[in-house]
Structure 1
Amino acid sequence: MATPMQVQNQQVTPQQPPNPAQAAQLQHAEIDPVAKFKNLLPRLKESLGILFKSAGEVFRYHATQDSGTRPGDSPQQKFEKSLEEFYALCDQIEINLKLALEMHSHFLDSMRYSPFPVVSSFKMDTQQEGFHYPQYLLTVRTQINCATEIHDVLTEFATKMADQPTS
């Protein structure tokens, strides 16, 4: 155990803060589902290899058991654990790919129905022309209000048409 004098004499080296480019890339990797997919792919490959090895061990165990010899402990639990890990990684990849598809669909809708593209918050190019998210929300609210007004006018017109006597 260190004495208080020894603790005072130890120099503490502060951690270097990441530069802005590294921080932006890290934030981009945390947000972007395609980047998450790319990070999960090597883990999935490794998990598949472990799954195949444990399946081979289970197969070998049952083969020795069928031949009449007494094998050791069953590798069934290891196989089930590696299978669960493989399925969990597959589920994460599926979720990220579905999210990427949904984000792409939203982007296409934004391009179709907005006069300017929406600027992503995680893109490093800030000189790009387009809406920032608050401006985009304002545009969407305006479009919703216009659609509501059109709906109200059409409902009022339909009500008046139904109230008029037919001649």
Structure 2
Amino acid sequence: MDQKYEIVRRIMLATNKIDGVYYLFGKKCGINENTLAFFYALADGKPHSQKEISDEWIIPRTTINSIVKTMLARGSIQFCSEHHTKEKAIVLTETGKEYADKYLTDIYLAEEKAISRTLQKFKPEFVAALEEFSDCLHEEFQEIFQYEKEQIKHEQF
């Protein structure tokens, strides 16, 4: 258990450092980390719903909704009808692309250099392993949350 704990601790520290550098970058540029993640999500050029962004990037829906309202008012995003679901899809406008590029260009450059250096030492499979760990951890926490919900239901009666 101690070795596994130490491995998980190292992963947590590494992911916190990753989150931290994006947070600090955003702060230095005057953009909050959720707005930065929102633009990063949309920068792939594909339409995304608010729900998709919220779920994939683990940003509260109320926060995404606030960002959407602000970015609509600025003309940075627009709704499109390409998505065939109940949810409206969002895409960047030309203004939004320029705004996103202003921040993302430096991020992409730093990411490219960092991943190149990392891949000199490790195989690309490390990403799949990290994704698998992330998915498994998410499932385990979902079970805990479900258990807690069940406990609360039973305690009310």
Q: Which of the two has higher C-alpha Rg?
A: 1
Which structure carries more strand by proportion? 2
TM-score using structure 2 length: 0.28
Normalised to the residue count of structure 1, the TM-score between the two structures is: 0.27
